[in-house]
Amino acid sequence: MHDLVNEYHIAVPTAFYDNEDLNTEATLQHIRNLYDQGVKSVMVCGTTGEQHSLTLAEKLQLLKSIDAATFLPDDLEIIFGVASIRQKEALQLAEKINASAKINGVLLGFSPYILPSQKEARLYVEAIAKVIEKPIILYNNPRRTGFNPELDTFAELIRLPNIIGIKDAGDSARIPELISVADKKIYVYAGGEIDLDKKIALGANRLSSMAGNLYPSEVEAYFTDLLRGRADKTKNAGIEEKIHNVFADNPIIYIKNEITKHTQIDMGIARSPLGNL
């Protein structure tokens, strides 16, 4: 199993047509555009909040489009998001991802809304991890899912050989505890750029970026400086203002609108009710 080598990836939005149908062409064009700007790692079908609006068929369609996209270079690291209310559907997607030559890793989220027990969630992760021979990042976002793994649960899951770390969008104060209960060195991904300096101070050592969709090189430099202890308040003021603008309202809508405005790529709309006026 190969590791995920990049400290920084961009969580890309999913493009939709005006009728809300999936637009794989624009999604992949945006990924290629990021690569042309120096981005080496992207994550699709994951943290931008659109994952659970996609049906299993749409997720498989997106995966198939990535596999067929000869214009996506071999040295582009692609992480694919897996999460579902139904474990059966998550397993079907995971099996296809495992067979994909283009996908390098998985962001594995817990089931939203249904509030599984700690044991049920652990068995869900174990079942999916069993069919994936690629690196897995656990994704914990209790504000969105309603579920939060206890430290004992995380300690058990991180023992699985293909689980390499966690993206935790919950209480960042838990980061030192997550690191301490792990039986190996782990990657801790900061979810987005809000309070990035504080998350790094607590132990986060990687970034799953949203603002990087618009400012890829600036965000990477900002993250790298923070990670290496070279933060400069004057130098960072510009990118911090841009980050604030991204997250001031709904970041998905803002990012899509800005991509469409400044490139020839029409990312379309968010799926309603997001974007309702």
| One-character DSSP codes across 15-31 | PB-TTS-B-HHHHHHHH
> Are the C-beta atoms of 153 and 118 separated by less than 8 Å?
yes
Residue 48 in marked binding region: yes
**Secondary structure (DSSP) of 200-265:** HHHT--EEEESGGGT-HHHHHHHHHHHHTT---HHHHHHHHHHHHHHHSS-HHHHHHHHHHHHSS-
Q: Is 139 a catalytic residue?
A: yes
Q: Is 124 a catalytic residue?
A: no
Mean pLDDT (whole number) for 17-30: 97
With 70 as the cut, is the pLDDT of residue 47 above it? no
Q: What is the value of pTM for the model shown?
A: 0.96
Catalytic residue (one of 8, 124, 139, 189): 139
Per-residue confidence (pLDDT) for residue 255, from 0 to 100: 96
Catalytic residue (one of 40, 96, 134, 167): 167
- Pairwise CA distance, residues 107 & 248, whole Å: 26
Mean pLDDT (whole number) for 105-133: 97
Per-residue confidence (pLDDT) for residue 158, from 0 to 100: 98
- Specify whether domain 8-262 bears CATH 3.20.20.80: no
